[in-house]
Amino acid sequence: MPYRICKTIEVESGHMLSKHPDKCQFPHGHTRRVEIVLEAEELDANDMVCDFKVVKAAIGELLASLDHAMCMNTEDPAFLEFRERYGDRVIGFPCEDPTTEVMARYVYDETKRRLTEYQKQKDCRFPLREEVRITSVKAWETSSSWAEYLPPSEG
C-alpha cells in the first residue's frame, strides 16, 4: 500500500450556477476547503512522500487566481459583462457550471499540471520525485457538503 499525504488549503471564492433552478443561479460565495491527496510507493530520503511546502509552492498561483474570484459558466448570459467589469477575477468554465464537482476536477487537473512543471525545476530546496502522484481532490462547499474527483484509472 502506498503512502499518502493530504494538504488542505482554504480559499474564498464565488460562483454562479446558471443551470440551477433556485437561488444558486445568483452570485454567492463560499469559504472552500480543498484537500489535495498525493501518494508514493516509497518515502524519500527525508522519510516523506514529499514536503508539504511543495504543494503550496506548486499551486500558489492557482490559489491566488481563485481567491476572491467569481467562477462562471462561459455560456451564462452575464459572463461577458462580469468579465469586462472584473477582468481576471472572473474565471470562465467553458460550457459548464462551476459546481463543487467541477471545481474539484479543475483543481485536480491544474494541480497535476503544476506539479509536473515543479518536478522539472533544478536545484529545488524542496524537490518532488517523479513517482509522487496526485490521487484525488476533495472540495468542500460548506462544512457539511463536499465533492471529490478521482481520475479514471490509467491501467
User: Cα separation of 4 and 39, whole Å?
Assistant: 4
16 within 8 A of 26, measured Cβ to Cβ: yes
Residues 6+ positions from 118 with CB-CB distance below 8 Å:
54, 57, 58, 124, 128
**SS3 state at 48:** coil
Homologous superfamily of 3-149? 6-pyruvoyl tetrahydropterin synthase/QueD (3.30.479.10)
pLDDT at 1: 61
- Sheet bearing 133-142, strands edge to edge: 90-93, 69-73, 3-15, 28-40, 133-142, 145-149
Angle at CA 111, nearest 5°, toward 77 and 29?
40
| Residue 107 in grid coordinates | 483543481
Tens digit of each residue's pLDDT (9 = 90 or more) over 24-80: 999 999 999 999 999 999 999 999 999 999 999 999 999 999 999 999 999 999 999
pLDDT one-digit tens code per residue, 97-115: 999 999 999 999 999 999 9
Percent of the chain topping pLDDT 70: 98
CA atoms within 13 A on the CB side of 125: 5
CA distance 33 to 17: 19
pTM (2 decimals)? 0.94
Domain boundaries, the chain: 3-149
- Non-local (6+) Cβ contacts of 119 within 8 A are 128, 129, 130
Outline where the chain has alpha helix (H): 52-66, 79-86, 100-119
